[in-house]
């Protein structure tokens, strides 16, 4: 699996790093690495989108939606 970091979103206390992973099947899946600022990196949580996509762009869109929803819930 290959991952490509694509974007970072921030709120006052949270950071969401968006990545796209290329799966062995050749499909792509979005991931959000969620971290509370000021806490150790070891407390980072990885969340994967529910769907996989045929394109990197499709997986990126899904990851952005997931990140925005998660940060909105934490805000």
The 10s digit of each residue's pLDDT in 29-42 is: 999 999 998 888 88
Other beta carbons less than 10 A from residue 64's beta carbon: 18
Confidence (pTM):
0.84
Summary mean pLDDT of the chain: 90
Closest among 17, 22, 21, 52 to 33, alpha carbons compared:
17
CA gap 67, 47 in Å, rounded: 9
In the block, which residue shows the tokens 């150790």?
40
């Amino acid at each position: 699996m290959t991952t490509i970091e694509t974007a970072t979103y921030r709120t006052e206390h949270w950071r969401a790093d968006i990545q796209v992973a290329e799966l062995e099947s050749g499909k792509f899946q979005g991931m959000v690495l969620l971290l509370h600022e000021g806490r150790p990196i070891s407390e980072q949580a990885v969340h994967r989108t529910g769907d996989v996509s045929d394109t990197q762009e499709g997986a990126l869109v899904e990851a952005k939606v997931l990140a925005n929803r998660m940060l909105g819930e934490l805000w």
